[in-house]
Structure 1
């Protein structure tokens, strides 16, 4: 009997020991599980680093070819553009951790110009809110427009302009071709009827003068679509300079929408004489430069090819800013591989070949 009691006692002691080990093992497993879950949470948090913490390395996300396709400029050119306007950008004093740096605002704006898509889409690509994109576009566009006098201007020496135009169609004394193009805008809230052009949509009538290399020498982007080309030129600063003789004897070429003057020559309306026909032929050949300039501008910055969904004032800033960037792109020899440009080249190719106006 004692042996049985001892056996039962030993069994109970072993059972208690096993139970204690199991409970301690379960407790240990729970601690391990909790520690593992904590590690998982820590790892996940490490993967949730805000994108704005890595914005300074945004160039590492794009290869050189992709960078040019997305922003229309290479890294060196973007840095040059930033250096031209950084002193004009406002300095915002805020405690927010998601402050946009000047380079961020410039890249956002360049992509908006290049794609012409909705601001929210641009924000989704670069991880910015729509309000931040809108603010960046306004700030950068105004800054670029403010430096337009330095980047869009007639050179001090007009001899190079004359020589380049003379090589096109043997027209001596030409320093530029003037024309207008309509930039579609969203329906404005104020003076809505003034912005309806002859094609019955809202626009800005942008007047520009270009040289033989498609660089813009003068841009006026403040007039509504209903304004006539000749009216814009007469009231513009550049028009008054030519009228007052500040440029001397050189003259501009314009289409039949302008009045023929001593400083602006237009084609003959009904050419009969051989010299009139030859003049019109050379005039048309020279006109191809401004047509291609507008075509390249709108293809490089697709926003101008579509509709600018902003107020007329901001649309004017954007238009001038794109013209400034257009000149910088030409100076920097930025490539523009766009199949649609072949259509423009075909139009230029259909122009009459160069022929001397003095030939009989």
Structure 2
């Protein structure tokens, strides 16, 4: 199912103008252009300035260029075609500034239409790296245990809302969240090192966190993110791993919006014993990892904290691409950089209703409390 934005015609018009400019063979229809000099920012900026402007270090950008260079093409056969490096830098600049395509285009020295096309192309190219950089296979039980003494934790899960413009009137209300804004509810799982293990970016803002989780397996409702990324790499991986026991006797931790399962442990709503209280305290401190991860992700790439005005499939590509870039930044041990634009505080912290699912199974949680936390 494909959802189209309300001002899609504007974006299509820009793309048509750009295509006409590049493909027209009629000399009398060509307008004399003044080409802006493209700066080699790898040379003119020092390491700090480069990382501040593009959110990644020079070495990380070189690695990224090597990985996605086969997917990027110089669209124009003329001498002023946009190199793969400048295409990457333009997209990174867009992620750092939000939706200001004019500023992004001027910074690199291209037209607004070209900037729009490049952001979409680069985002989808980076998203192809998802299987390489975002994986739930990584073992991190000991790292989680070091946080608050919670044993056998493989990952922590939560949902976060990404603001979008109103889609068309036929399906727009599906994307209106509980705060009245239009958004995507993105399910994320991270490890103790704040690296993403799973990202699902296909559900409208009205969807409950538990609904997203319950339908993220191969048998559930399935939407294709975009044609260039294999769907089973990130839409269905999480619950498939859980149901088949591939978490190797480990748990996910989630808040009370999720049903308690043998593989997904949630807080005890009304703790009465000391063991239950210790369980909740450890659970909360460990689960805080996902909130920190989301915060770091959105501060490094402010486009996620602002309202995106792109086609829905391109918004999904940006979300997946920035999750890949976030993990690359963590792999390179890059320090967190301040946002270059103002980010609204807690704009999309939407508290989900506590559910009481009849399918919940708290047996594993009860056993853990009795055999571990009650003995501390």
Superposition TM-score, scaled by structure 2 size = 0.74
Does structure 1 residue 89 correspond to structure 2 residue 72? yes
Give the equivalent residue in structure 1 for 2:313: 313
Does structure 1 residue 65 correspond to structure 2 residue 48? yes
Contact 1:177 1:287 (8 Å CA) reproduced:
yes
1:179 to 135, 158, 173: 158
Q: CA deviation at 1:192?
A: 0.8
The CA distance in 2 between the partners of 1:280 and 1:223, in whole Å, is 29
Contact 1:186 1:311 (8 Å CA) reproduced:
no
1:216 to 183, 196, 215: 196
Deviation string 1:19-50 (CA, Å, 9 cap, x unpaired) is xxxxxxxxxxxxxxxxxxxxxxxxxxxxx994
Give the equivalent residue in structure 2 for 1:272: 272
Q: CA deviation at 1:270?
A: 1.0
Deviation string 1:104-129 (CA, Å, 9 cap, x unpaired) is 11000001101214101111222211
The CA distance in 1 between the partners of 2:373 and 2:53, in whole Å, is 44
Higher relative contact order (CA 8 A, sep 6+): 2
Q: In the TM superposition, what are the counterparts of 1:282-301 in structure 2 within 5 Å?
A: 282-301=282-301
Q: Larger Cα Rg: Structure 1 or Structure 2? A: 1
Does structure 1 residue 233 correspond to structure 2 residue 216? no
The CA distance in 1 between the partners of 2:206 and 2:78, in whole Å, is 45
Say which SS state the counterpart of residue 51 (structure 1) adopts.
coil
Does structure 1 residue 150 correspond to structure 2 residue 132? yes
Does structure 1 residue 258 correspond to structure 2 residue 258? yes
Q: In the TM superposition, what are the counterparts of 1:99-110 in structure 2 within 5 Å?
A: 99-110=81-92
What CA RMSD, in Å, does the superposition of the two structures yield over aligned residues?
Answer: 2.2
Structure 1: 5+ residue runs without aligned partners?
1-47, 345-355
Give the equivalent residue in structure 2 for 1:351: none
Count of residues paired in the alignment: 295
Q: In the TM superposition, what are the counterparts of 1:185-196 in structure 2 within 5 Å?
A: 185-189=164-168, 191-196=171-176
Say which SS state the counterpart of residue 270 (structure 2) adopts.
coil
Contact 1:253 1:264 (8 Å CA) reproduced:
yes
Q: CA deviation at 1:155?
A: 2.7
Q: CA deviation at 1:90?
A: 4.3
Q: CA deviation at 1:262?
A: 0.3
Deviation string 1:131-165 (CA, Å, 9 cap, x unpaired) is 11111100010011111011000235x2xx11001
Give the equivalent residue in structure 2 for 1:302: 302
Superposition TM-score, scaled by structure 1 size = 0.77
Give the equivalent residue in structure 1 for 2:36: 51
Contact 1:151 1:324 (8 Å CA) reproduced:
yes
The CA distance in 1 between the partners of 2:166 and 2:117, in whole Å, is 21
Contact 2:99 2:309 (8 Å CA) reproduced:
no
Tell me whether 242-251 or 180-189 shows the greater mean CA deviation.
242-251
The CA distance in 2 between the partners of 1:277 and 1:76, in whole Å, is 46
Deviation string 1:267-316 (CA, Å, 9 cap, x unpaired) is 01111121111111101101110000000000000111111111221111
